[in-house]
Structure 1
Amino acid sequence: MRKLGFLVLAFNICLANPLQDAINNANDGDVITLGAGVYEGNILINKPITIDGKDQKAIIRGNGTGDVIKITSGNVRLLNLTIENSGNSHTTIDSGITCDNASDILIEGNSLKSTLFGVNFKQCNNSKILNNKITSKPVDLGLRGDAIRLWYSHDNIVEGNYVYDSRDMVVWYSSNNIIRKNYGERGRYSLHFMYAGKSLVEENEFKQNSVGIFFMFSSGSLVRNNKVFSSTGAFGVGIGMKDTSDFVIENNILSHNARGLYLDQSPFQPGTVNVFKNNQILYNTSGIQFHATQHKSIFENNDFIGNMEVAINDTPGSKIAKNEWSNNYFDDYAGFDRDKNGIGDIAYKNFTYLDSLWQYYPNLRFFYGSSIMTILNFIARLAPFSEPELLITDSMPKTRPNHD
C-alpha cells in the first residue's frame, strides 16, 4: 500500500515476499513499517529508506553468518527493531548493523542481541546511534565483539544506549563525536578511544567492567559528568590515559575501582597540559597511578576520599614534581584551618616510603597489606631509612570536600 510517498508493509515470515524484496521495490524516502513477526535477515539497504518495527516486536533474524543488516546508502533509518543472530567471525566483524561509507544514518530504539558486534560504523559520518539495547554473543569476554564501533567515523552522536555483556564500545581514528548518557556494564572497556580527538564524553555511567573509560594516543577532548564504578581485576581503571594530551577531565565520579585514574605518559606532547578538576575520586585502591610522567598535569578542586593510596608512581625517574595541585581535598590531610577560610594552613604533601618497593617491583605486591609491610612502612615514616618520594604538593588544600 502506498500513501503520501510512504510504503507501508506488514507481513510475517510465512508470506511470499521477503524483506529484501520489499527493500528492493521501495522508492527513496519510503517507510517500511513491520508488524510483529520474524523477518529474514542478512539484508542490504542501498537506498535512503526507513524501516520501523514500532515496538520491537518485529524481529529481523540473521542466518548466523555475516551481518544481519548492512547499510551502504545515506539517509537510512532503522527504528524500534529487534535484530539478532549475526555471524561469529571477528575477521569480518560480523554485526547486527554495519554501516559502510555513508552519512546521516539514524539507528534508534532497537534491541540487538546474539550479535557478535552490535552497531559497526565504518566511515559513517554525521549520524546518530540513540537509545538502543545491545548485547553480544553468550561467550567468554575476550571472544565477544564490540557493542558500538566507530572506525574512521566523524561527527556522530552516540547517546542513551544500554550496553551489557559485550566487549567494548570503541572510537578509533574518529573525531568530533559526542558520546553521551550511555550505560554499560559487565564488559571489558566500556569506552575505548584510540587516535580519536576533539570529542565530548559526558553523563555516561559504567560499572562492573574491567576498565571504565580509556583514551590512547588521543588529544583535545572534554570528559565530564561521567560515573565509573567497580572497575576491578588485574587492570581495573576508572579513567585511563596513555599518550593522551590536551584533555579536560571534570566533574566525574570514580568510585570503588582498582585505580581511579591511570595516567601513562599523559600528557604526551610537549607543551600540552591535561586538566583534572572537580572530580570525586572515592574508595579506590589507588586514587591515581602515574606511569612514566614527563609533562605537567593540573589538578584542582578534586576530592580524594577513602582511597587506600591517594597516589602511586610506578616508574623511577618520572617527573612527578611537574604536576600542579591546588584546592584539592584529601581526607588524610593533617593540618589545621585557623582562619576558617576552608584552606589548610600548611601544604598537603603526599610521600611514598616503603610503598615504593611494591610500586616499582610488582612481584612484591604479594606482601601488600601484610603485617610486615605495614610495620616497615610505619617505621619508615617515623625514621626514614631510605629517601621518601614526594608525589603531591598542594599548597592550598581544602579542609572540607568540594562536593557534598
Structure 2
Amino acid sequence: MKTLHKLAFLPALLLATTSAGITPETQVPPAAVGSTADFSNAPRVNVDKPVELIPLYLRDPRIHGLQPLQALVDAAPEGSILTLPAGHYAGPVHLKKPLTIVGEGQVIIDGGDKGTVFVVETNRAELHNLTITGSGESHDSDDTCLNVRGHGNTFDNLSIESCLFGIDLKQSDHNIVRNSRIRSKPFALGVRGDGIRLWYSNRNLIENNRVTDSRDMVAWYSHNNIYRGNEGRRSRYSIHFMFANNNIIEDNRFYDNTVGIYFMYSEGGVARRNVISHATGATGMALGFKESSDITIEDNDIIYSAVGIGSDLSPFQPDTTVRFNRNRFAYNGIAVQLTSELGGNQLRDNIFEGNLTDIYQGGRGEGDKNVWEGNYFDTYQGFDRNKDGYGDTPHEDYAYADRIWMEFPDARFFKTSPVLELLDFLERLAPFSALELQARDGRPRIEKPLFAAHGSAR
C-alpha cells in the first residue's frame, strides 16, 4: 500500500503567478485594444453539462481485472501525495479534492475505450508522470482522456494516447499543462478530437507539449493564455483561436499541419519566434486571420506553405492594425494574401525569398492602403548607389497576367506553365492591360538581414 504524505499548498493566486511563469512582463498589458471585450468578465451561469462517467463494469472487459485507481484516490487524504508504483490501473477516475498523484516508472491508467478516463473537478491538484489512455469515441459526450474543471492545477509529463479528445479545460483558469505528449485515435482528420482544448478558460500556461495526429488545438472564449515551446505535427489547426483575446504564442514548432495559427474574431495578442512549416494542401495556410484586430506577428519563420499569411477582413475594428515585423517568408506558394480592401496591415523588416508569389492583394488598386517598409525582396530590381543599405527606387509589386489565377483560382494549377510565364513577361515589357498595384515598399532592403530568432542568426 502506498505511503501518503501531507502536502502544503500555496494559495491559488501565488501558484498561478509563480509556477506558471505568468508574470506582468509576459502578459499583454491590460490596456491593450480588445481588453474590454473579455467575455469572462460578464456575469454568466455555468452552461456546461455535468460530468458523466461511465462505470467500470460497462467498459471493455480487458480492464476489469486491473486495480481501480478510483479506490486509491478516494482513500488518499486531501492535500496529500499519492505515489503510484509502475503498473496498469483501471479508470474511470473522478478527482474532487486537492491531491498530488505521482507515477513511479510507467503508470498506465486505461479507460477501456468508453467515455472519459480522468476528470479533475477541483483546484490545486497535480498529476505527474502518468499515461492516460483509452477514451471512448463519442463527440456528443466529449469523450476525453483528461477533463479539467478547476483552477490552479498542474499537469506535468503526461502521455495521452488513443483518446478522442486529449486534454480538455472547461471554465478553468491558472492551470499548467507542461511536458506532455498527446495523440488522438487513428481516425480520419475531421473526426478526431482536439489535442488540447480551452473553453472559457483564462490565464493558463500550455508549455513544452507535443501534439501529434490530433484534430486541433483550440481556444474558444479563452483569454490571456500562453502557448510556449510546443510542437504540433500532422493535425488540422496547430492552434485555432475563436473569440479569444490577448493570447501569447511563442517559441513553438508546427510542422505538416493544414493550418498553423488561426485568429478568428479575436483581438490583441502576439505570435513570436515560431516556426511554421509545410502547411500545404488546397487549404494550407501558416497564419490565418478572420475579422481579427490589433495582433503582432514577429520574428517567425514561415516556410514551405501553400499560403504564408491569409488575411480576411483583418484588422476588423476601426483604427487598429495587424503588425508583421522581422518575419521570414520563404519558399511559399503565396507569401502574403490579403483579401480585405480595408488596409491596416503593417509589414516592416520582413524577408521574402524563394516564394512563387510574394503578395496577393484582393480588390482593385488597393495596394497603397497597407504599410510596407524596410522589407527584403529577393525579386527587387534596383540599386543602392549611396550605400545606405536600401534601394534607390521603391519595390513595387503589380499584378500582370497574375490576375488570371488570382481571379480564377482553378487557373492556379497553370501558374508556372510556359504560357502564363510568357504572358507575364510580355506584359512587363509592354502592358496590354491596366496594371494593379499589389504593394509598394519605399525603402526595400538591398541585402537580406540577419535576425536573432530562435536563439541564433538566420
- Aligned partner of residue 71 in structure 2, secondary structure: helix
Q: How far apart are 1:48 and its partner, in Å?
A: 0.7
Alpha-carbon distance in structure 2 between the residues aligned to 1:228 and 1:193 = 16
2:86 is aligned to 36
Quickly say closer, same or farther: Cα 1:339–1:318, change in 2 above 3 A: closer
Superposition map of 1:50-65 within 5 A? 50-55=100-105, 57-65=106-114
Q: How far apart are 1:317 and its partner, in Å?
A: 3.8
Q: How far apart are 1:217 and its partner, in Å?
A: 0.6
Superposition map of 1:120-139 within 5 A? 120-139=168-187
2:265 is aligned to 217
Task: Say whether the 8 Å CA contact 1:291–1:318 is kept in structure 2.
Answer: no
1:284 is aligned to 332
The residue type paired with residue 262 of structure 1 is G
1:383 is aligned to 430
| More contact order relative to length (CA 8 Å, sep ≥ 6) | 2
Task: Say whether the 8 Å CA contact 1:347–1:396 is kept in structure 2.
Answer: yes
- The Cα offsets for residues 154-206 of structure 1, whole Å up to 9 and x where unpaired, read as 00000000111111111111000000000011111111111101111100000
1:159 is aligned to 207
Superposition map of 1:361-372 within 5 A? 361-372=408-419
Task: Say whether the 8 Å CA contact 2:146–2:166 is kept in structure 1.
Answer: yes
Instruction: Report whether the alignment pairs 1:356 with 2:406.
Output: no
What is the aligned counterpart of 1:68 among 117, 124, 127?
A: 117
Number of residues of Structure 1 aligned to a counterpart in Structure 2: 395
The residue type paired with residue 26 of structure 1 is A
1:77 is aligned to 126
TM-score (norm 2): 0.84
Superposition map of 1:286-305 within 5 A? 286-305=334-353
Task: Say whether the 8 Å CA contact 2:4–2:81 is kept in structure 1.
Answer: no
Alpha-carbon distance in structure 1 between the residues aligned to 2:426 and 2:4 = 84
What is the aligned counterpart of 2:138 among 70, 79, 89?
A: 89
The residue type paired with residue 71 of structure 1 is V
Superposition map of 1:155-304 within 5 A? 155-304=203-352
Deviates more, 1:62-71 or 1:121-130: 62-71
Alpha-carbon distance in structure 2 between the residues aligned to 1:202 and 1:226 = 6
Superposition map of 1:312-351 within 5 A? 312-313=360-361, 315-317=362-364, 319-351=366-398
What is the aligned counterpart of 1:22 among 49, 60, 72?
A: 72
Alpha-carbon distance in structure 1 between the residues aligned to 2:143 and 2:214 = 14
Q: How far apart are 1:15 and its partner, in Å?
A: 8.6
- Aligned partner of residue 80 in structure 1, secondary structure: strand
- Aligned partner of residue 51 in structure 1, secondary structure: strand
Instruction: Report whether the alignment pairs 1:109 with 2:157.
Output: yes
Alpha-carbon distance in structure 2 between the residues aligned to 1:179 and 1:164 = 16
Deviates more, 1:292-301 or 1:115-124: 292-301
The residue type paired with residue 265 of structure 1 is L
Q: How far apart are 1:320 and its partner, in Å?
A: 3.4
Gaps of 5+ in 1: 7-12
Task: Say whether the 8 Å CA contact 1:268–1:295 is kept in structure 2.
Answer: no
- The Cα offsets for residues 300-342 of structure 1, whole Å up to 9 and x where unpaired, read as 00000110101113x3347432101111000000110011110
- Aligned partner of residue 310 in structure 1, secondary structure: strand
TM-score (norm 1): 0.95
CA RMSD of aligned residues (A): 1.6
Task: Say whether the 8 Å CA contact 1:267–1:296 is kept in structure 2.
Answer: yes
- Aligned partner of residue 135 in structure 1, secondary structure: strand
- The Cα offsets for residues 197-243 of structure 1, whole Å up to 9 and x where unpaired, read as 11111000001111111111111101100000111001111111111
Q: How far apart are 1:4 and its partner, in Å?
A: 4.2
Identity of aligned residues (%): 41
Task: Say whether the 8 Å CA contact 2:250–2:272 is kept in structure 1.
Answer: yes
Gaps of 5+ in 2: 8-62, 451-457
Alpha-carbon distance in structure 2 between the residues aligned to 1:328 and 1:206 = 24
